Structure 1
Amino acid sequence: MGLAPARIETLYRAACLAELDALKPGNVHAYAAGHRMAVADFVASADASAPALARAGAGIGARVHGAVAATMTAVGQNTNLGILLLCAPLARAAERGVDLETVLADLDGEDGRETFAAIRRANPGGLGRAERHDVAQEAPASLIAAMAEAAPRDRIARAYVTGFADLFAVGLPALAAARTMGLDPAWSTSAVHLAYLAAFPDSHVARKFGLARAESVRAEAARVVAGLDLRDRPVGPLLALDADLKQAGINPGTSADLTVATLFCDALEAAGANLGRPRPNLE
Structure 2
Amino acid sequence: MDLILTNDRTTQLTKWIETACLWEAEAPKAGNVHPHASFADLTYQDFVRSARATAFMLSRIDQRGIAKSILDAVKTVKLQIGRNTNLGIVLLIAPLAAASRDGSIEDHIAQQIDELNVADSRLIYEAIRTAKPGGMGTTSEQDLSAEPTEPVREIMSLAADRDLIARQFSNNFADVLGFGRDRLETWWERCPQDRNQAIVGLHLEWMANYPDSLIARKCDEEIAMESSVRAKQVLDLNWPETVESQEEFAKLDAWLRDDGHRKNPGTSADLVAATLFVGLCEGLISC
Q: Report deviation, 1:217.
A: 1.1
Count matched residues. 272
* 2:250 corresponds to: 239
The DSSP-based 3-state class of the residue aligned with 1:24 is coil
* 1:67 corresponds to: 73
1:129-153 CA distances to partner (integer Å, 9 max, x unpaired)? 1111111111223111110001010
Which of 16, 30, 41 does residue 35 from structure 2 map onto?
A: 30
* 1:255 corresponds to: 268
Which of 26, 38, 46 does residue 41 from structure 1 map onto?
A: 46
TM-score by length of 2: 0.89
Listed as ranges, the gaps of 5+ residues in structure 2 are none
User: Using a 3 Å threshold, how does the CA distance of structure 1 residues 164 and 90 change in structure 2: closer, same or farther?
Assistant: same
Cα RMSD between the aligned structures? 2.1
* 1:12 corresponds to: 17
Listed as ranges, the gaps of 5+ residues in structure 1 are 272-283
* 1:82 corresponds to: 88
User: Using a 3 Å threshold, how does the CA distance of structure 1 residues 76 and 235 change in structure 2: closer, same or farther?
Assistant: farther
Q: Report deviation, 1:232.
A: 6.2
Q: Report deviation, 1:163.
A: 1.1
After superposition, where does 1:203-242 map in structure 2 within 5 Å? 203-231=213-241, 237-242=248-253
Which of 162, 166, 178 does residue 169 from structure 1 map onto?
A: 178
Of 246-255 and 68-77, more deviation after overlay is shown by: 246-255
Q: Report deviation, 1:96.
A: 4.4
**Residue type of the alignment partner of 1:270:** G
Question: Structure 1 vs Structure 2: percent identity of aligned residues?
Answer: 35
Answer whether contact 2:26 2:44 (CA < 8 A) is retained: no
Could you tell me how far apart the structure 1 residues matched to 2:65 and 2:275 are? 21
The answer to which structure, 1 or 2, has the higher relative contact order (CA under 8 A, 6+ apart) is 1
Moved over 2 A (4+): 95-98, 228-240
Could you tell me how far apart the structure 1 residues matched to 2:76 and 2:160 are? 27
* 2:282 corresponds to: 269
* 2:198 corresponds to: 188
1:108-139 CA distances to partner (integer Å, 9 max, x unpaired)? 12211110000000010000111111111112
Answer whether contact 1:193 1:256 (CA < 8 A) is retained: yes
Answer whether contact 1:35 1:246 (CA < 8 A) is retained: no
* 1:114 corresponds to: 123
TM-score by length of 1: 0.90
Could you tell me how far apart the structure 1 residues matched to 2:129 and 2:202 are? 29
